[in-house]
Amino acid sequence: MNNLKNVTPKQLAQFFGLLMALAVLVIYLLMNAAFGLSNTLWSSLVLFTFTGLLAYGSFYVSVELFLHRKIKVIYKIIRQLKAPVSEKESQELVDMNQDVLGDVEGEVVDWATKKSEEIEKLEEAEMFRREFLGNVSHELKTPLFAVQGYIETLSNGGLHDPMINMEYLLKAGKNVERLNQILEDLEFITRHEEGRLQINRGKFMINDLVQEVFDALEIMADSEDVSLRFKDGIEKNIVVFADRDKIQQVLTNLIQNSIKYGKENGTTWVGIYQMDKNLLVEVTDNGMGIEERHLPRLFERFYRIDSSRSRQQGGSGLGLAIVKHIIEAHGQSINVRSKLNVGTTIGFTIRKA
């Protein structure tokens, strides 16, 4: 079957000519025998040759003019669409005398597959765009409506009520801060995507930085009854080469999340491991864990596993997206693994000095 796919028009025409010559010769011989006519080898040979050449020529010209050349044109157009070139370059790329029928099927299938994949990617991008716009709208409306409600209450007489005026002003202020945080986080991500994110690399000890973050989040951890610890047996006093402030932002976000979504009397561990030229830094908790279906989208902007609880905990919904952008801006990688009701580990690599 594969051999038949590679048959050229000329070979097909030769086969057709031979078949027709044999058929005519057989008919000629049968007719002579039926009518008692004599025939010679010379006349049979002439008839066989003439019929074969006529059938070959007719079939070949028909295929070449009405089918093969049209397929060649389609083939050339596909080649131009795959990699746009000039007419002259296209003629050089596509040899019009080659066995196009033997190649065109593979080219068409390859082209159609690539176009199908492009369409799927565009549809997926459009879906994410609609979802992103919906999430942005929702994230902005929530604090806006809260501020609007507080202001309306104050303007309708609440401003003169000492029981609620300061409380409502403070709540309105917190929601304005949340709005500002969302906008700043979006601006941060935009700078990274446009290649404008500045990474100021320098040498520092990663253990010391982790301890600073532990100290800064100690009150928050105590309020949630979560212990912050280094894993046993980790490397000590390792110097890394990165943007200290941004890595601190990464650690703060990851450890904050482990506290927020950890369990009561739980623990957050930080492990540091040697990896040739890099270090692997892992933040592990023994909290609620994450379902596997959520893991591929965990670092998307505004993606929340439990929307109601996440918003109660505060934050812009962009923390993990920013973490991913910071690590990628350093030319490093980040990954997550989790098991429901067991815990979550998020690890990222960082270059050693």
Structure tokens given for 88: 């002259």
Mean pLDDT of the chain: 79
Domain extents in the chain: 2-98, 129-193, 202-351
Please, what is the Cα angle at 286 between 285 and 292, to 5 degrees? 85
SS3 assignment, position 84: coil
Check if the beta carbon of residue 352 is closer than 8 Å to that of residue 240: yes
Whether 104 shows a pLDDT value over 70: the answer reads no
Q: How far is CA 130 from the centre of its chain?
A: 16
Check if the beta carbon of residue 290 is closer than 8 Å to that of residue 220: no
Whether 271 shows a pLDDT value over 70: the answer reads yes
pLDDT confidence bin for 5, thresholds 50/70/90: low
The dotted CATH code for 202-351 is: 3.30.565.10
pLDDT value of position 93: 47
- What is the spatial distance between Cα 82 and Cα 106, in angstroms, rounded to a whole number? 13
pLDDT value of position 263: 81
Check if the beta carbon of residue 201 is closer than 8 Å to that of residue 241: yes
Check if the beta carbon of residue 252 is closer than 8 Å to that of residue 217: yes
Residue range 31-51: average pLDDT? 74
pLDDT confidence bin for 42, thresholds 50/70/90: confident
- Please tell me the pTM assigned to this model: 0.58
129-193 topology per CATH: Helix Hairpins (1.10.287)
SS3 assignment, position 343: strand
pLDDT confidence bin for 10, thresholds 50/70/90: confident
**Residue carrying the six token digits 């039926």:** 34
| Number of neighbouring beta carbons within 10 Å of residue 103 | 13
